[in-house]
Chains A and B, each alone.
Chain A
């Protein structure tokens, strides 16, 4: 499929020139096009922040909800209509901070959705405060003594909670990010893609060059199905590994566990069963 199918034409984009969000959007469009997922079958659910504006900039169904709350609606959309491809996408502050509890429990629930997190280690839209992933010592107008909270490690956490697909990408590499996104979207079950991304306006430490110098791709020989090794790799701080860090097949999804589709594959929202008889029976049982 031609990725132009997602293009919106001449629109006003609120991202800063040079922002990593542009390349993430390019990778995503390419991945979707190669997977032949038309806009009519795709729902992008986002929260609030610069990253969360992404569904406004390409053709898709979208639910741009509240700050930190992309995962609960995404989970619900998928379970009431499993025929849709559902992506929950926002920034690090949104997913790991405000939405932290939903992040933990979405992983446990294992809906068949893809969770894309634009991780630039800073709050952009509120103008430069620390995010959960900001590194120790990172100084901001609010964190004047430098960040002293232990940085949030989404990868280790996700693997520990039983996530079935955990990957890290770098926004500066459109091609390989596209490949990782394709695997994540194709994966059956919850898939996390944490995408490292420079913030040109508010993060002068973790720049494009810094990410280039401090990341590396996992080698082809790496076995992402070994959970213990994946945990070790995810804990690496000196140089950040990129690629699929962990994946696990054969885990039932939330939709499958709901029991709703055991006998009837019709999406819940398209069913037209008349409840009158079963309701009459239930009411009679109360006599």
Chain B
């Protein structure tokens, strides 16, 4: 077992309180200064099923999921079967024999029986089972008990005093059990001194939300849809402090048309949605292109087609985002690889959308949305937002034809001019036209904005030896898993190129590919959508691909294993 990197998995039915345990463990461990990473996979149901949460902690920075399980805490029998592929000799299962019967899968070799239910009953009822379990894990990890009781008290502070006391008691009794296991040598972990104090802990939804707030977002209209709803909830929670309007629209069509109305009137508007909801928004993407009104579209991907797997992850909506909307007009697509990216690129999306009066996408996925880890606090030095809005005069024309294609954007009620926008082809004053000569000029004007857009593409990130022979390409949320896999493979002929802007494609892309003897692309989809895009836009040849589309993100081990096979 790797000593300085512990992977804990909690698994049970929806409704058994796993989320509470996850919440307590992740934040408490964070406060002790360990690097913490947590991700979850869950079923699209409110009760029952088998959901699991993986929590990794280490004294070194970690930000990727692993298959390995060091400590498994099953809350029901089915958990062991749900996770049997990931259980190995190194897995210590800590469970209650009263609900985990002897009929374990053969993979389980180390089972420690802890009577969670009995302990919980002694404290006051089965409802405390999850807190007892949290206590056991914290005991095994040798976390200071004072910190544990403080945290639990604060966590339940809004509840009745007696409930707080019982929860603290449940945690304490669990903790004593865990400590006993540690002392008896049954469970051994040697985490080094924690180093990551003063960092923040958040998930992808919060990082996108913070990026939006820092980018000046003051209007969000959306329709709830997993896994994109977290951003809407986050902005709602902070709408009063920041002066943001968050409106739950009647459908996604309304959501994007509202956002465009708000944006036309001068707001910095955003929508957050997922595949099926975004499909309904596509008319609005086209409208944004035609009326040259900025909008930021956060598209959190989940597996399709149609309803697909609502609570799982995939990277299969890249082509949808790229081609959504009828007609031809410029757009940009960001694909954050990390929480820092999610913050910076969402802010940048607002800047680009405003500057070029176009739709800009932030393409994430369920994995990134639901994944927590610690990062240094975001830098707020350059967050000043400059609105690209002009005061109009009497002779103002909304679509004046300019050399760079960008017409100064006025808004109603700011200046003496009139501001019209029109979804029909229009003249400079925005009135309907069927002057076909003007039509060509207007199309050219809109497309000329591409030249400016192309001048500020975020370059791909490069990791590895400059003299590589094998180049791995990834985009979006697979960043940390591929990065850790590359580190574990430890080959000096291997490099990794990660794209966080996938459209327009950076002009250096071809140079990276031509330099490699072999290029392998890694994507969470079935048809290598980004690989196809690269082939379409460059002359680059991609020799191999590693694709996954079962609804789960890549683990570090499976990338390592697949690459070893490919490269042997």
Shortest distance from the beta carbon of A122 to any chain B beta carbon, whole Å: 22
- In the complex, A69→B255 CA distance in Å? 10
- In the complex, A267→B218 CA distance in Å? 12
Contact with B along A41-52 (1 / 0, CB 8 A): 101010010000
Asked if residues B202 and A286 are in contact (CB atoms below 8 Å), the reply is yes
> Interface-forming stretch among A58-66, A166-174, A235-243?
A58-66
Asked if residues B243 and A84 are in contact (CB atoms below 8 Å), the reply is no
Q: How large is the interface on B (under 10, 10 to 19, 20 to 34, 35 or more residues)?
A: 35 or more
Asked if residues A276 and B377 are in contact (CB atoms below 8 Å), the reply is no
Given the interface pairs A66-B287, A73-B260, A284-B377, the reply to whether A80 lies near B412 with Cβ below 8 Å is: no
The yes or no answer to B400 lying at the interface (CB within 8 A) is no
The yes or no answer to B213 lying at the interface (CB within 8 A) is yes
Asked if residues A84 and B412 are in contact (CB atoms below 8 Å), the reply is yes
Given the interface pairs A101-B251, A286-B206, the reply to whether A77 lies near B414 with Cβ below 8 Å is: no
Given the interface pairs A39-B418, A105-B250, A286-B202, the reply to whether A80 lies near B245 with Cβ below 8 Å is: yes
Asked if residues A65 and B260 are in contact (CB atoms below 8 Å), the reply is yes
A residues less than 8 Å from B222 (CB atoms): none
Contact with B along A6-46 (1 / 0, CB 8 A): 00000100100000000000000000000000011101010
- A-side interface residues, number (CB < 8 Å): 57
Which residue on B lies nearest to A55, using beta carbons?
B420
Asked if residues A269 and B265 are in contact (CB atoms below 8 Å), the reply is yes
- In the complex, A259→B254 CA distance in Å? 21
Which residue on A lies nearest to B237, using beta carbons?
A282
Asked if residues B383 and A73 are in contact (CB atoms below 8 Å), the reply is no
Which residue on A lies nearest to B250, using beta carbons?
A105
Contact of A283 among B210, B250, B291, B419 (CB under 8 A): B210
The yes or no answer to A181 lying at the interface (CB within 8 A) is no
The yes or no answer to B428 lying at the interface (CB within 8 A) is no
The yes or no answer to A268 lying at the interface (CB within 8 A) is yes
Given the interface pairs A260-B243, A275-B213, the reply to whether A61 lies near B412 with Cβ below 8 Å is: yes
The yes or no answer to A83 lying at the interface (CB within 8 A) is yes
- In the complex, A162→B258 CA distance in Å? 21
Shortest distance from the beta carbon of A156 to any chain B beta carbon, whole Å: 20
The yes or no answer to B264 lying at the interface (CB within 8 A) is yes
- In the complex, A84→B264 CA distance in Å? 13
- In the complex, A212→B118 CA distance in Å? 83
- In the complex, A84→B218 CA distance in Å? 18
The yes or no answer to B469 lying at the interface (CB within 8 A) is no
Number of A-B contacts (CB under 8 A): 185
Which residue on A lies nearest to B392, using beta carbons?
A40
- In the complex, A60→B420 CA distance in Å? 8
Contact with B along A65-76 (1 / 0, CB 8 A): 110010111111
Contact of B383 among A72, A76, A105, A279 (CB under 8 A): A279
Asked if residues A269 and B257 are in contact (CB atoms below 8 Å), the reply is no
Given the interface pairs A77-B261, A279-B210, the reply to whether A59 lies near B250 with Cβ below 8 Å is: no
Asked if residues B257 and A84 are in contact (CB atoms below 8 Å), the reply is no
The yes or no answer to B439 lying at the interface (CB within 8 A) is no
> Interface-forming stretch among B61-69, B73-81, B193-201, B496-504?
B193-201
Asked if residues A64 and B424 are in contact (CB atoms below 8 Å), the reply is yes
The yes or no answer to A209 lying at the interface (CB within 8 A) is no
Asked if residues B198 and A269 are in contact (CB atoms below 8 Å), the reply is no
Contact with B along A210-222 (1 / 0, CB 8 A): 0000000000000
A-B contact pairs, 23 of them (CB 8 A): A62-B422, A63-B261, A64-B420, A65-B287, A66-B284, A72-B261, A73-B261, A76-B219, A76-B247, A76-B269, A77-B264, A79-B245, A102-B250, A102-B257, A104-B250, A268-B267, A269-B265, A270-B413, A275-B383, A279-B242, A283-B200, A287-B201, A287-B377
State the A residues within 8 Å of B (CB).
11, 14, 39-41, 43, 45, 48, 53, 55-56, 59-66, 69, 71-77, 79-81, 83-84, 101-102, 104-105, 258-260, 264, 267-271, 273-276, 278-280, 282-284, 286-287
Given known contacts A102-B253, A274-B384, what 15 new A-B pairs fall within 8 Å (CB)? A63-B261, A66-B257, A66-B423, A72-B249, A72-B258, A76-B247, A76-B267, A80-B262, A269-B218, A269-B265, A275-B383, A279-B213, A284-B377, A286-B201, A287-B377
State the B residues within 8 Å of A (CB).
198-202, 206, 210, 213-214, 216, 218-219, 221, 238-243, 245, 247, 249-251, 253-255, 257-262, 264-267, 269, 283-284, 287, 291, 377-378, 380, 383-385, 411-414, 416, 418-424, 430-432
5 A-B pairs with the lowest CB-CB distances in the bound complex, closest first: A73-B261, A269-B266, A76-B261, A61-B412, A105-B250
